[in-house]
């Protein structure tokens, strides 16, 4: 699977973006000829770009007759459908959806004590993710990097240079930093990172969480 910036570069091509947007809007399988006609390009060029989008994981492809078209003899035509929830790219990385899910779950679980429920949910979410990634062989620094924290080991500490919740943390510092701290603590617990502790250490322009290591 390509990196997110590679996918963004792929969609910078006008032809590929037009094809992706068309297939995504249809909500059903789309054949090569239909996609080519809709975007005013040759069938061969459309097929090339559609397959590149499949390689990037933005589209899925299979062979079947499109809806409403009778199936003839021989192999069915190749059709394409969009997969996933789309693509969001921010530099540095931001993960506002994660905070939104934690808060929504907390309000649904305990609207009268949503703040406490959110802290519990944040730790639980981090722990569960850490357990899954530990079983896949991941390590703490790699996971933190993948989540966008930009970890930097430094003399018994791991400094996190990026806050994935930056805009929200500026507006609701106590709440969001508390959720971030609980999430990272849960992540450490799920990964079973020995002798690693998490601390709230606010720093301008960086993540409020710091880790102490052996």
State how far the alpha carbon of 203 is from the alpha carbons of 96, 162, 180, 210, in Å. Answer: 20, 10, 14, 10
Indicate the SS3 state at residue 30: strand
- Residues 172-213: pLDDT tens digits? 999 999 999 999 999 999 999 988 999 999 888 889 999 998
> What's the confidence (pLDDT) of residue 7?
66
- Residues 69-112: pLDDT tens digits? 555 555 778 999 988 766 665 556 778 889 999 999 999 988 99
> What's the confidence (pLDDT) of residue 148?
87
User: Could you tell me which CATH number the domain at 4-82 has?
Assistant: 1.10.10.10
Please tell me the pTM assigned to this model. 0.65
Residues 94, 77: Cα–Cα separation, whole Å: 40
* Choice between 67 and 101, residue whose per-residue pLDDT is larger: 101
Domain boundary assignment for the chain:
4-82, 96-212
Mean predicted confidence (pLDDT) in 121-139: 93
């Amino acid at each position: 699977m390509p990196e997110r910036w590679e996918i963004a570069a792929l969609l910078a091509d006008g032809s590929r973006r037009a094809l992706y947007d068309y297939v995504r809007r249809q909500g059903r399988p789309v054949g090569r000829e239909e996609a080519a006609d809709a975007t005013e390009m040759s069938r061969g060029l459309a097929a090339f770009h559609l397959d590149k989008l499949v390689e990037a994981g933005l589209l899925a492809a299979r062979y079947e007759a499109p809806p409403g078209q009778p199936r003839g003899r021989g192999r069915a035509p190749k059709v394409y459908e969009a997969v996933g929830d789309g693509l969001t790219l921010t530099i540095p990385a931001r993960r506002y959806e994660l905070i939104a899910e934690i808060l929504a779950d907390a309000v649904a679980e305990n609207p009268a004590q949503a703040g406490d429920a959110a802290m519990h949910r944040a730790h639980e979410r981090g722990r569960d993710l850490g357990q899954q990634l530990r079983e896949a062989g991941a390590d703490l620094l790699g996971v933190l990097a993948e989540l966008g924290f930009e970890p930097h080991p430094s003399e018994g500490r791991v400094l996190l240079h990026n806050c994935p919740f930056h805009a929200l943390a500026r507006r609701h510092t106590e709440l969001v930093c508390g959720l971030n701290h609980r999430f990272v603590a849960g992540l450490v617990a799920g990964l079973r990172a020995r002798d690693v502790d998490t601390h709230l250490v606010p720093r301008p322009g960086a993540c409020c969480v710091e880790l102490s290591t052996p």
